[in-house]
Chains A and B, each alone.
Chain A
């Protein structure tokens, strides 16, 4: 080699600087980066941060929420998949705990254990917790699931490759595989409704007010009125997922 060390370093530096500058220039030409803008329409997602309260003491287990959800969101009725469902917990006299949710509660519940053998019993509605630090979003390899600025975890049905990591990653079992779209799917808190000023279908369908939905940013909202007054809890707080579904009257058996 007849290149001096000095010469070699010079050329090396030029290549590195040139490559970096070149790719930056090309990137800025090719990138379709329109500046960040809010979705069109009169909805401002920076003005809201949604939250959900479930009062398990009120739930009567009629399952109308789960039915309304399937109707609203085209979830197949002949598959055992649910965006929201109601679980029945029965603590028997012998300390046994029976947990079930036949057909996600859509057909209601039968008392198949005689009332005399049951110590206490209650219903617990379940739904995606729309975690603030969602593990399902973290595991997505392609960026097809995300948390919106107003705090809703959504799936991009066009971009999802259907690898099902997120379904495994959700500690609450809130995701399922949509066999029609061949993608993962989950509760959206009826994002198409709440951004038009409507309530989620399950909240609207609840006959006893066990499900409450509202804006955590608005101190006067229905959810904040409950959060300010009641003793609340979330599911699996030890996981650090920071759920935004808050429970009133949660029993220690509920997981």
Chain B
């Protein structure tokens, strides 16, 4: 083989090795394992912390069993504890961390119950001007069993 062809050949080989090397540095671990993305990122996202514990975890025997059993048969059984009380996963894991107190204002109940045109008609709604004499709703309704005080 002529020397000048050898040189070209060597250059080509170096270029290819360089490319493969640089590529291996730049392309992150696990890229392309499942598709054109970093497979590890799936597990990164799976490992995010869970913030809402779910109503069932509140009703544990040694915790809020009483409130839970009342709530379970009430008109509010479709309203999860954390829908009113806010995310309480930390509290469920460690009872020393108290969840923020539930909002017991009229406006909070009103998010669901004030009369609004766009709401389905069969949903129980009240006119805030005339219902409940401007008292707190919890004065007459138990939020965990809204029908009886």
Enumerate chain A interface residues (CB-CB to B < 8 A). 3, 11, 15, 18-19, 22-23, 26-27, 30-34, 36-37, 39-41, 43, 57-64, 68, 71-73, 88-90, 108-109, 111, 113, 115, 118, 121-123, 143-146, 148-149, 154, 156-159, 188, 191-193, 195-196, 198, 201, 204-205, 207-209
A-contacting 9-mer, from B61-69, B82-90, B134-142:
B82-90
B contact face: mostly helix, strand, loop, or mixed: loop
Q: Is the CB of B118 within 8 A of A71?
A: no
Count chain A CB atoms within 10 A of each CB in B28, B86, B117, B119 and give the residue with the most.
B117
CB neighbours (8 Å) of B3 from chain A are none
Q: How far is the CA of A90 from the CA of B24 in the complex (A)?
A: 56
Enumerate chain B interface residues (CB-CB to A < 8 A). 1-2, 5, 8-9, 12-13, 16-17, 19-21, 24, 28-38, 41-52, 54, 76, 78-80, 82-83, 86-87, 107, 110-112, 115-120, 123
CB neighbours (8 Å) of B32 from chain A are 33
- Pick 19 A–B contacts, CB within 8 A, sort by A: A18-B9, A34-B30, A39-B42, A39-B46, A60-B116, A60-B120, A64-B83, A108-B107, A123-B118, A143-B38, A144-B38, A148-B34, A158-B41, A191-B48, A195-B46, A205-B52, A207-B76, A207-B83, A209-B78
CB neighbours (8 Å) of B87 from chain A are 68, 71-72, 201
Q: Is the CB of A3 within 8 A of B2?
A: yes
Shortest B108–chain A CB gap in Å is 9
Q: Choose one: B35, B86, B118; the contact of A90 (CB below 8 Å).
A: B118
Q: Choose one: B34, B52, B82; the contact of A149 (CB below 8 Å).
A: B34
